[in-house]
Amino acid sequence: MIAHKQGSLTFYTPETIDGVAGHFFDTGISAGFPSPAEDFKEDRLSLDEELVKNKEATFYARVSGQSMIGAGLDDNDLLVIDRSLEPENNKIAVCFLDGEFTVKRLRVTKDEVWLQPENPNYPIINITEDNNFLIWGIVTNVIKKV
């Protein structure tokens, strides 16, 4: 991946490497009793094929901060962002607001747009004509370290 730093988010563009994929076990992983070893069927899995629907419009960005922890987006998580998707009410979006990038849940009414954090310690942002505002892309997936 190639990194580009923009304000509080670091964006990444995917580098596709043909023929590279991880091992995939198509039986599910039990969180209870282990299944017998002969039940495993090994295939190859490409995360790009699973997570990316439009390669030309998909980017990655690393979360910085705690404003979206209620939505499961934690500091340092990696977001998969699709710029070809239409913004809709209740979607999580990466927005350019007054010179900085932010990730928030969209709240859209007939006449207003709000950016809703998923942490009660952060304020809801009402977008007005005075703001320099752009919805940059829609978050489709989050990749976490455990």
Q: Is the pLDDT of residue 59 over 50?
A: yes
Catalytic residue among 84, 104, 144, 145: 104
The pLDDT value given to residue 41: 59
What lies within 8 Å, CB to CB, of 68 at 6+ separation is 92, 103, 104, 105, 117, 118, 119
Catalytic residue chosen out of the listed positions 67, 84, 144, 145 = 67
Active site residue 46: no
Q: What is the pLDDT of residue 55?
A: 83
pLDDT of residue 15: 63
Residue 117 pLDDT more than 60? Answer: yes
Mean pLDDT (whole number) for 71-79: 93
pLDDT at 133: 93
* 53 among known catalytic residues: no
pLDDT at 52: 82
The 3 state secondary structure assigned to 76-145 is: CCEEEEECCCCCCCCCEEEEEECCEEEEEEEEECCCCEEEECCCCCCCCEEECCCCCEEEEEEEEEEECC
pLDDT of 95 > 50? The answer is yes
Can you tell me the distance from the alpha carbon of 30 to that of 120, in angstroms, rounded to the nearest whole number? 35
pLDDT for the residue numbered 53: 86
What's the pLDDT at 23? Answer: 43
